[in-house]
Amino acid sequence: MTFLWPELLWLLLALPLLVLAYRWLLRRRGGSTLRFASLGLVREAVGQGVRWRRHLPAALLLAALAASVLALARPSAVLSLPARDRTLILAVDVSGSMQARDVKPDRIGAVQAALREFVAGLPDTTRVGLVTFAATAAVAQPPTLQRDDLIAALDALKLQRGTATGSAILVSLQLLFPDVEFDLQAVNPRRAAAAPSESGSLPPKVAPAPAAPGSFRSAAIILLSDGQQNVGPDAVASARLAAERGVRVFTVGIGTAAGEMLGADGWSMRVRLDEDTLTRVAEVTQARYFRAASAAELRAAHDALSTRIAFERRELEITALLAGLAGLLMLAGGALSAFWFGRLD
């Protein structure tokens, strides 16, 4: 907690003086009880078990004064609040390896089930888009607030051949930055973006100046894949383009290190989880990699992503909150004093 006017906190030093004054008043009143013929009568009237009532209203008043002083100093605190006007792009691997059953019921089925829960837990103001990728990447659903449209696109996923992880990142960036063009065919998209056109002049659309990695908090990409890229732009080079625009690419690895044997039409191959590529993509963009070797781990990964993405930490002034607390404490102290003793002192 920080304060805009910290010099007013010196007023808190007056609170111990108030405590001393309160004790002095109690002793002064206590002296008057000597005029009674029997102190036992006083104890019987007050009651041994309710002595704390005598001091509780004063304690509440003291706490109210302390809250008032803190409010005068204009405090501010960093709070976790639902993100507003945020855009998320879900990039889902639909390559043939996603039919492996090392994650039950299979990799793609587990992803669809987890994403339905993830999307349902997002704030209503978060726009969500869907990009699918196999040998190429395509937009299955532009960013939208309509959850039904997004779920319908998720349910319609079809598996294909190839895994172009780098293309998925570039297509996701294209959705976030429609005025910037990315070469989806280049092996190294960074080099292609910097190269001049055939006429010898620079491309007509120039990329903006690089931003600090992870600084663009209005949008993020969540990439779900087994990580085995075999076609298209380099995934890490594409991630560097995202980092230069401040976009974080969170990655979720679907599958196990041992993988599973898949085969059809006379061929067979073992499909394993490639964690190295997915980890490097997340690190380059100042994001995080989540491993999902089971359906339970996948749900846990999406719960962690919800905490990181659906909520944002913002510094807010909480003067009104403390002022309201001070008022409630004063009212409570006054009400208890009136109810128990028939007076407000």
The pLDDT tens digits of the residues spanning 229-241 come to: 888 899 999 999 9
Task: Give the model's pLDDT for residue 31.
Answer: 55
Helices 319-341, 51-72: crossing angle, 10 deg rounding = 160
Task: Give the model's pLDDT for residue 48.
Answer: 47
Dig out the tokens for 266 from the structure: 């006379």
Spatial separation of the C-alpha atoms in residues 295 and 111, rounded to whole Å: 8
Paired with 83 in beta bridges are: none
Domain borders along the chain are 13-75+318-341, 82-315
Task: Give the model's pLDDT for residue 264.
Answer: 64
**Closest listed residue to residue 116, CA positions, set 88, 139, 148, 142:** 148
Mean pLDDT within 157-180? 91
Spatial separation of the C-alpha atoms in residues 256 and 35, rounded to whole Å: 86
Chain position carrying tokens 């080079």: 237
Dig out the tokens for 63 from the structure: 């706490």
Task: Give the model's pLDDT for residue 200.
Answer: 46
Task: Give the model's pLDDT for residue 286.
Answer: 93
Mean pLDDT within 202-222? 74
Regarding predicted confidence, which is higher, 255 or 188? 255
Q: How confident is the model at residue 345 (pLDDT cuts 50, 70, 90)?
A: low
Buried/exposed code over 166-175 (b: 16+ C-beta within 10 A; e: otherwise): bbbbbbbbbb
Asked if 97 and 264 count as a contact pair (C-beta separation under 8 A), the reply is no
82-315 CATH:
3.40.50.410
Q: How confident is the model at residue 204 (pLDDT cuts 50, 70, 90)?
A: very low
**pLDDT higher than threshold 70 for residue 190:** no
Regarding predicted confidence, which is higher, 179 or 39? 179
**pLDDT higher than threshold 60 for residue 25:** yes
Paired with 82 in beta bridges are: 311
Spatial separation of the C-alpha atoms in residues 84 and 312, rounded to whole Å: 9
Task: Give the model's pLDDT for residue 94.
Answer: 94
Task: Give the model's pLDDT for residue 97.
Answer: 87
Spatial separation of the C-alpha atoms in residues 175 and 129, rounded to whole Å: 8
pLDDT by residue (tens digit) across 215-267? 888 899 999 998 778 888 999 999 999 999 999 999 999 988 777 777 666 56
pLDDT by residue (tens digit) across 135-151? 999 999 999 999 999 99
Task: Give the model's pLDDT for residue 306.
Answer: 72
Regarding predicted confidence, which is higher, 112 or 344? 112
Which region among 260-264, 275-279, 282-286 has the lowest average model confidence (pLDDT)? 260-264
Give percent of the chain above pLDDT 70. 77
Mean pLDDT within 254-281? 79
Residue 246, Ramachandran bin (φ over 0: left; ψ between -120 and 50: alpha; else beta): left
Task: Give the model's pLDDT for residue 56.
Answer: 81
Q: How confident is the model at residue 51 (pLDDT cuts 50, 70, 90)?
A: low
Query: What SS3 string covers the chain?
Result: CEECCHHHHHHHHHHHHHHHHHHHHHHHHHHHHHHCCCHHHHHHHHCHHHHHHHHHHHHHHHHHHHHHHHHHCCEEEEEEEECCCCEEEEEEECEHHHHCCCCCCCHHHHHHHHHHHHHHCCCCCCEEEEEEECCCEEEEEEEECCHHHHHHHHHCCCCECCCCHHHHHHHHHHHHCCCCCCCCCCCCHHHHHHCCCCCCCCCCCCCCCCCCCCCCCCEEEEEEECCCCCCCCCHHHHHHHHHHCCCEEEEEEECCCCCEEEEECCEEEEECCCHHHHHHHHHHCCCCEEEECCHHHHHHHHHHHHHHHHEEEEEEECHHHHHHHHHHHHHHHHHHHHHHHCCCC
pLDDT by residue (tens digit) across 57-109? 788 888 888 888 888 888 887 766 555 668 999 999 999 889 888 888 899 99
Task: Give the model's pLDDT for residue 93.
Answer: 95
Which CA distances in Å does 49 have to 39, 43, 44, 53, 104? 16, 10, 10, 9, 63
